[in-house]
């Protein structure tokens, strides 16, 4: 791997003009580093089309159609792991995390399909903002082994590239994603929220905190109101998006 090339791109990125020049230079860098494909997206969501989330990309012909037709996004181990990752990780390492998942067989089939389409292995680098996970950069193709320093440099590139391109594509979204989170929760509300995110019920949370389930429900109602959530599941989803729980 060419560490100097990665450092040079980081120094150059602010000087590049517009989306076309930025993506062209980035694609040249990836070719020199041995990667054939990439996609830079906003945070994954369960949508029918990925086009609204895409900031830039290059992938094997027909792969997005196959991915959507077989509904792989619902079980994609790399996407599922991305929600918890704080640093870049390798695609192939995610299967071991979900070895007991009821969707394990479909995950394996997805990986086989990806390899048959030229995506033999790769990496994903999460991009975080003040509101938690906001996007990611995926690199793939033939297997490429990255060392620790190289992983760190690509993480920096992922962040810089994401914020540069989203400011070009959607300035309003960029401002919203980088805005300060204005949600003030009490210590008890934070404790209850963290336990709720672990899958606990009101009685479970009450036993852990030493309070009644009715009191837990009181806190939950306050949480939902402050977060603007429709229900508890929605409150947890918002909390993850805002980075209040991880």
Q: What angle do CA 129, 135, 152 make, to 5 degrees?
A: 80
Q: What is the pLDDT of residue 172?
A: 72
Q: What is the total count of domains within the chain? A: 2
| Domain end call among 126, 149, 178 | 178
233 sits in the region (left: phi over 0; alpha: psi -120 to 50; else beta) called alpha
Q: How does strand 121-129 pair with strand 132-141?
A: antiparallel
| Domain end call among 178, 200, 233 | 178
* Residues 66 and 134 both lie in one domain: yes
Where residue 182 falls among pLDDT bands split at 50, 70, 90?
A: low
| Domain end call among 178, 199, 221 | 178
- Report H helices in 117-201: 148-169, 171-178, 187-197
User: What gap in Å lies between CA 241 and CA 133, rounded to an integer?
Assistant: 6
* Residues 63 and 120 both lie in one domain: yes
* Residues 102 and 39 both lie in one domain: yes
Q: What is the pLDDT of residue 157?
A: 97
Residue 187 has pLDDT above 90, yes or no: no
* Residues 122 and 199 both lie in one domain: no
Residue 166 has pLDDT above 60, yes or no: yes
By mean pLDDT, which of 38-47, 148-157, 221-230 is the weakest?
38-47
* Residues 22 and 96 both lie in one domain: yes
Task: Read off the pLDDT of each residue in 206-226 and give the average, rounded to a whole number.
Answer: 90
Q: What is the pLDDT of residue 228?
A: 83
Question: What global pTM score does this model have?
Answer: 0.72
The CATH number linked to 20 is: 3.30.450.80
* Residues 90 and 56 both lie in one domain: yes
Q: Which residues form the domain of 78?
A: 3-178
Q: What is the pLDDT of residue 180?
A: 54
* Residues 235 and 133 both lie in one domain: no
Q: What is the pLDDT of residue 152?
A: 94
Where residue 58 falls among pLDDT bands split at 50, 70, 90?
A: very high
The CATH number linked to 210 is: 1.10.10.10
* Mean pLDDT computed over every residue of the chain: 88
Task: Read off the pLDDT of each residue in 55-66 and give the average, rounded to a whole number.
Answer: 93
* Residues 198 and 148 both lie in one domain: no
* Residues 151 and 215 both lie in one domain: no
Where residue 48 falls among pLDDT bands split at 50, 70, 90?
A: very low
Joined tokens for residue 153: 């440099």
Task: Read off the pLDDT of each residue in 190-202 and give the average, rounded to a whole number.
Answer: 89
* Residues 215 and 93 both lie in one domain: no
């Amino acid at each position: 791997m060419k560490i100097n090339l990665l450092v040079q791109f980081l120094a150059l990125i602010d000087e590049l003009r517009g989306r076309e020049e930025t993506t062209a230079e980035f694609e040249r860098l990836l070719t020199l580093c041995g990667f054939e494909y990439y996609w830079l997206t906003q945070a994954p969501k369960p949508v029918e089309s990925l086009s609204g989330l895409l900031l830039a990309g290059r992938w094997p012909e027909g792969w997005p159609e196959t991915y959507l037709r077989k509904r792989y996004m619902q079980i994609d181990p790399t996407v599922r792991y991305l929600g918890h990752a704080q640093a870049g990780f390798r695609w192939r390492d995610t299967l071991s995390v979900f070895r007991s998942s009821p969707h394990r067989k479909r995950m394996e089939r997805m990986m086989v399909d990806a390899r048959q389409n030229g995506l033999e292995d790769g990496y994903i680098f999460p991009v975080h903002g003040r509101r938690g996970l906001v996007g990611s950069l995926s690199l793939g193709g033939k297997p490429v082994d990255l060392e620790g320093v190289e992983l760190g440099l690509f993480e920096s590139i992922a962040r810089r590239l994401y914020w540069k391109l989203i400011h070009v594509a959607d300035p309003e979204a960029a401002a919203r994603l980088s805005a300060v989170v204005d949600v003030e929760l009490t210590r008890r509300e934070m404790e209850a929220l963290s336990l709720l995110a672990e899958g606990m019920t009101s009685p479970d949370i009450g036993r852990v905190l030493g309070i009644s389930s009715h009191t837990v429900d009181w806190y939950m109602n306050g949480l939902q109101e402050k977060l603007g959530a429709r229900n508890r599941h929605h409150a947890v989803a918002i909390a993850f998006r805002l980075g209040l729980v991880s």
